[in-house]
Structure 1
Amino acid sequence: MTTPLISLKNIRQRYAKRTVLSIDSLEIIQGQITGLAGPNGSGKTTLLRLLAFLEQPVEGTITFLGKPTSIKPNHIHRQVTLLVQEPYLLKRSVFANVAYGLKVRGKNDIPAKVFRALEIVGLDPEAFSKRLWYELSGGEAQRVALAARLVLKPKLLLLDEPTASLDIQSAELVKQAALCAREEYGAALVIVSHDKSWLTSVSDHIITMENGSIVSTD
């Protein structure tokens, strides 16, 4: 049996003594797409932050490929990335934003990799690579932020309402580009979205959450 990419056991997360997440068991399988549904405040974003190793639960264990983890372990943190609804870009050019992660990792062939990532998200590399962060529309900025993650070929791509504030065309391009992460290098995806038709069409299974707990898995 394949070892789960991430496994959660007996997880409890509390803020100011209030329990916001209570999950007895959850596995994220390599190469699969998991949809996360549920109303606002149901714990979806908190779960994503735990999966991204941005927070540590107050109770329970999280393993990565079968090994226990702690908050922000460098060798794991570089293999898991989170894209949120409002993109954060460095105050630099598009090329510099997408290339940043490659440079800090000492990768080679950076221009070719950056251009390919921009192509995947539907941005013409020649037209966009020299543009500055403030010259981008909201949809373009979100696609640059996604390209900066795809270029690193993470094992797990976490998406928190990535299309909620985008126009229809930009939203569709983000959706298509995210799926390339699995098609091109076998990444697992966990997608939080209120777009139920999208989740149904792309997910291997959908987890529904309420009040910080998993209430169904389809």
Structure 2
Amino acid sequence: MSALVVLDHIRQRYSDRTVLDIEHLEFAEGTISGLAGPNGSGKSTLLCLLALLEPPAQGTITFLGRPAHPGSAVTRQVSLLVQEPYLLKRTVFANVAYGLRIRGKNDIPAKVFRALEIVGLDPGVFARRQWFELSGGEVQRVALAARLVIKPKLLLMDEPTASLDAKSAELIHQAALSARDEYGASLVVASHDMPWLKTLADHIHYLDEGRLVRTVQHSEEP
């Protein structure tokens, strides 16, 4: 499989403190990569760099062989689902359709409905609901649908099941697989829920104190 994203000699610092130090890391097309490690290990920082929300203090990031940085055209091919997503103060339909509208896409209703179906929300029930009528798990799934519908080449997820019940966590799991299988996305998912992550990821990168300490293939996990 070809590399979608390559990081070389990456260092990230905040207030003269190095929070990420990775010599080389690749994410292949069509794969689901897990990120694991204790709080403060660098998982969220790595996701921010992959999302091109900020540049590294040192090193290079390439996307399909081309330099990638904040503000470059690549940013439209990457989407990040944060742990506590924000919804627009609008209907579910309007939230999911927003990314399509600003991109000038066609067939918006059909695409929105399909994205809602993938995350386990019946369009006939949820499309017209307002943002304040949703549970925490429903908010997370609407936010995920809003990212799936634009078909990013790279979908990043930061603790997507935190504070969710088992049913919602399973629906997020199935939606993540659909993002890869139906939309062709590659995924990088950070999670403390190791049983959940091991059933999803092809391999897991373990971080500690900002460094990559090991990578374990799914078949090697106990």
Tell me if both proteins adopt one fold, taking TM over 0.5 as the criterion.
yes
8 Å CA contact retained: 1:3, 1:66 = no
| Residue of 132, 148, 156 corresponding to 2:130 | 132
The TM-score with structure 2 as length reference comes to 0.95
The correspondence of residues 117-128 of structure 1 with structure 2, limited to 5 A, is 117-128=115-126
Question: How is 1:46-85 mapped onto 2 (pairs within 5 angstroms)?
Answer: 46-73=45-72, 75-85=73-83
Does residue 96 (structure 1) correspond to residue 94 (structure 2)? The answer is yes
Contact residue 34 and residue 203 of structure 1 kept, 8 A: yes
Q: Could you give the per-residue CA deviations for residues 69-119 of structure 1, whole angstroms, max 9, x where no partner exists?
A: 22131x211111011111110010000000000000000000000000001
Equivalent pair of 1:115/1:125 in contact (CA under 8 Å): yes
Counterpart position of 1:37: 36
Cα distance in 2 for residues equivalent to 1:195 and 1:50: 22
> RMSD of the alignment, in Å?
0.9
- Asked if structure 2 preserves the Cα contact closer than 8 Å seen for 1:89 and 1:133, the reply is yes
Deviation per residue, 1:14-40 (Å, 9 max, x gap)? 000000000000001100111111000
1:144 to 142, 145, 149: 142
CA apart distance, 1:46: 0.0
Q: Distance in 2 between matches of 1:135 and 1:145?
A: 14
Q: Which amino acid aligns with 1:29?
A: A
CA distance in 2 between partners of 1:72 and 1:167 (Å): 36
Q: Which residue of 2 aligns with 1:208?
A: 206
Counterpart CA distance in 2 for 1:142 and 1:202 is 18
Alignment of 1:182-201 (within 5 A): 182-201=180-199
Residue number in structure 1 paired with 2:220: none
Moved over 2 A (4+): none
Residue matched to 1:20: 19
The separation in 1 between residues aligned to 2:151 and 2:53, in whole angstroms, is: 19
1:185, 1:62 → 2: CA distance? 24
